[in-house]
Amino acid sequence: MKELREVLLRTIYEAGNVLMHYYGNLEHVETKSGEIDLITEADHRSEEIIIEGIRKAFPDHHILAEESGLSARQVSDFRWVIDPLDGTTNYAHTFPAFCISIGVERAGSIILGAVYNPYHRELFFAERGGGAFLNEKPIHVSQTRDLSQSLVVTGFAYDRRERADYYLRFFRAFMMRCHGVRRIGSAALDMCFVACGRVEGYWEENLKPWDTAAGWLIVEEAGGRVSDFPGGKFAIEKNQLLATNGAIHNEMREVLASCLK
């Protein structure tokens, strides 16, 4: 576990240096599946640095990365789940809400997670059973117990232009029931903000495993709760995610259910 932790932290800091090197100096911004799904040379180089570091230390481990997909080996229970740049649209516009997210799985269970925003130099980290931390200081979810007194966050999937009314239905429902709703543009940071008590809850659909693997563990180790929209057990392959401080989880579930009727 010590070596896993050392490699995880070393590679995420190295990737952070790559992102800051390109930040504000991008030469190419391209699109993937649609005109609002962006990718840059920083995404690619960050992922290369992370994978090189993992392969050097653990050549037999599986890797699932956003840009290169699944690299499967036959002899390991370990899998690294990597988002080399979560918040690419923010990054391309020099809006400083972006990060690297890396989760480490053993036999299907996330055991380590790290999310790093190099612009603000904030490293969120969790080890299963060991708590959650921000820059090595313990963090805990908010103690707010009512949705009416809460600040919540969400995100919109890349099909938002085709399904705008659907996503805005949820946004409006929460806007009427809480202090405010924010849309930051990075799923991993959204979850970390739940974990450190900056917001009380977060919901989103159509996320990918690399969006949620690290943040899921960080929220739970900070005392929060993560589920699907109905409240069922979460898995990184699931389509829906609800992360809260635990105290407002059922209230948020009820609002989500009312929007799905």
pLDDT per position as a tens digit, 81-110: 999 999 999 999 999 999 999 999 999 899
C-alpha pair distances (Å), 210 with each of 3, 115, 145, 174? 22, 11, 30, 26
Which residues neighbour 133 within 8 Å (Cβ) at sequence distance 6 or greater? Answer: 123, 124, 125, 126, 139
Distance separating alpha carbons of residues 12 and 1, to the nearest angstrom: 16
Among residues 87, 120, 138, the one where a domain terminates is 138
Q: Which residue has the tokens 């923010």?
A: 90
| Same domain membership, residue 161 and residue 117 | no
| Predicted pLDDT at 188 | 97
105-114 pLDDT, tens digit per residue, is 999 899 999 9
Range of the domain at 63: 2-138
| Same domain membership, residue 65 and residue 12 | yes
Q: Indicate the residue type of 112.
A: L
**Enclosing H/E stretch for 152:** strand 151-154
The CATH number of the domain where 245 resides is what? Answer: 3.40.190.80
Distance separating alpha carbons of residues 261 and 259, to the nearest angstrom: 6
| Predicted pLDDT at 68 | 73
| Predicted pLDDT at 71 | 73
| Predicted pLDDT at 36 | 46
| Same domain membership, residue 153 and residue 127 | no
0.75 exceeded by pTM: yes
The CATH number of the domain where 96 resides is what? Answer: 3.30.540.10
Q: Which residues pair with residue 100 across a beta bridge?
A: 116
Which residues neighbour 208 within 8 Å (Cβ) at sequence distance 6 or greater? Answer: 66
Among residues 102, 120, 138, the one where a domain terminates is 138
Q: Indicate the residue type of 165.
A: D
Q: Which residue has the tokens 């640095």?
A: 49
| Same domain membership, residue 152 and residue 72 | no
Positions of the chain with pLDDT under 50: 36
